Structure 1
Amino acid sequence: MTWKCAVVGIPFGGAKGGVICDPKSMTPAELERMTRRYTTEISIIIGPHSDIPAPDVNTNSQVMGWMMDTYSMHEGFSVPAVVTGKPLSVGGSEGRNDATATGVLFVTRQAAKRLNMPLKGARVSIQGYGNAGSIAARLFRNEGCKIVAVSDTHGGIYNEAGLDPAAVLRYKQEHGTVMGFPQAQSVNVQDVLELPCDILIPAATEGVITATNADRIQARIIAEAANGPTTPEADDILYKKGCVVIPDILANAGGVTVSYFEWVQDLQSFFWGVEEITA
C-alpha cells in the first residue's frame, strides 16, 4: 500500500488490519457489533490526521459507516475524515464504489494502446466477481470488450461468444455464485486464468499466478486488480513470454486514489461531482 500511494503521488502510507471471521455466516447485527468493537479497540491509533482505514476484502460502505460513527461517538462530534469508502449520506465520495475497476480500465486502455491492440472486440477473462471484478466486467464491456469468462470462490463460467455482466451479477445475487449461469460452460477457478483471452484480470486473492501455471496463460495483458496475484517466479516467466503485466500498485490504485479524494473532501466539507472524480 505504501508503494501504491507513492506511485500515484498520494500523501498516505500503508498498513493492514482485520478480524479473523467469516462475515458471510454472520448476521448484520453481529457484523455491526464486531465492527464497532474493533473500531473502539483501534481508536487510539486511527484518526483523520494519523491512520485512515478504507474498505478491503469482505468490507463495504456500511462497515465503513459503522466505523466512522463509532469513532465519532468517542470524539463527541462527527469525524467523517477518519475513514473512507463510506456511504454518500455520511461523507462518502462519488465514484468510490467503481474506483478500483475504473483505474484498471484506465491503465489497461493505455497498455492496449502501446501494443496497438484495440479494446473493441478484445476477449476478457476475470478471476473474481466481487466488487472489483463485477464492475470491471461492466466497464470493459461498455468499452466494446467481450467478457468470455468470470469466476468466484465456487468456480467459473465460460462462453466464447461473451457473457452479459449484468445478468451474471443478478444470477450471483440470487444464487450466491456464478456457477450454473445459463448459456455458459462451467469451468474451475484455475481454468479462468488459462482460457484463451486477450486481457486477464485477476481480481480475487494473491498468489494465483505461479510458476506452475504461468506458462499456460494466454493473455497478452494481465491487469492486476487484486493485490499480489502474480508471484515473482511467475512474473519472470510471463516477461519472457512477452505478456504485459500491469502491476497491482498501479492497476488497482484507483481505489486508494478516490479514498484520498474522499478524505480531502471530508476535511474541507466541500464535495465534488463524479465528473471531477473521474476526470
Structure 2
Amino acid sequence: MKIGVGLPNLVRDVRPEVLPEWAKRAEAAGFSSLGTGGRIAFPGVMDTVTLAAAAGATNSIGLISNVLVAPAWPPVLLAKEVAGIQGVSGGRLTLGLGIGGRQDDFVVDGAGPRGVGKRMDDALEVFRDFWAGRPVPGSESAGVPGGRIEIPMLFGGTAPTALKRMAKWGKGYMAGTVPVPMAASWFEDARRAWTEAGREGKPYLVGTVYFALGDFEKGRTNVYDYYSILGEEVAELTTSAMAGSTGAVRDVIEQYEDLGVDELLFNSSSDDPDEIERLAEAVG
C-alpha cells in the first residue's frame, strides 16, 4: 500500500507560502502522492492553485485532488484548468471528484447547489470530449496543448449514483476521512459497483485519515472547525478517526492494508512543515 500526504491548503488561515515547501519536503521524504482538499467558502487556498504550486515545486511525486467539487465550476473552465496542471506536472495528476456537500461553495452564477448530480454527469461528458481534442459547444478553440491529454479520475461519495459514476468513468474510489469500519463498507460498495458495471480488474482504492503529530489539540481543533458546518456529529466523527501518535499512525496503516486499499493519504491538520518529517518517521 502506498502512503501519501495531504497538503494543508484548507487549514484555516493557512500560510500559502509554505505550500511549495510542504510539497518539496513530502517528495524528499518519499511519500507517494500529495493530496488537496476542495472547498471554496473557507479561508484556505484553492485546490487547483495548490496543485499547480505543488506541480511546479516537485518532479516525481503524484498529485491527487481530494476531492474537487466539480459542479461548482463551469465545466469547460475546469477541464482547461486541470489539463494545464496535468501538463505542468508531466502527467502526475489524478483528479478526485465529488459533488460537494456545502451549499456556500457554489458561488458561480447559474451553478448553484441544486441539480449537482446532473451537472456532474454533464461535466464528465465535457471533460471526455475536451481532453480528447473534440470540439465542445461554445469553446471550439479552447483546447489543450498537443490536442489531447489523459487525466485519470477517482470519485468520492456513498450514494448509488456516485458509485455508478465511479464505475463508468473512474480509475477508482476515494473514501472520506471516517473511522476505518465505515470506510470498509464504502470500499465494498465501490468494488460491487465496479463488478456490476462489467469493469475488468479492480478499482483503485484510496483511504484518507487526518493526523497531528506535533500539537494534537490544535490539529483536532482545526479539523473540527473545517467540518463544523456539516454539524457536530460529522465533526466529531471525523476528529475521532485522527492519528495523533506513532502507534496510531502504524495502526491505521495496518487496518487499511487489511482492507486491501491501494493508497492511504494522511491529511495534515496543521500547516507546520515539520509534520512531514514527523509523519515519515512514524510511518517508518
TM-score by length of 2: 0.30
Flag the structure with larger Rg. Answer: 1
| Structure with greater proportional strand content | 2
TM-score by length of 1: 0.30
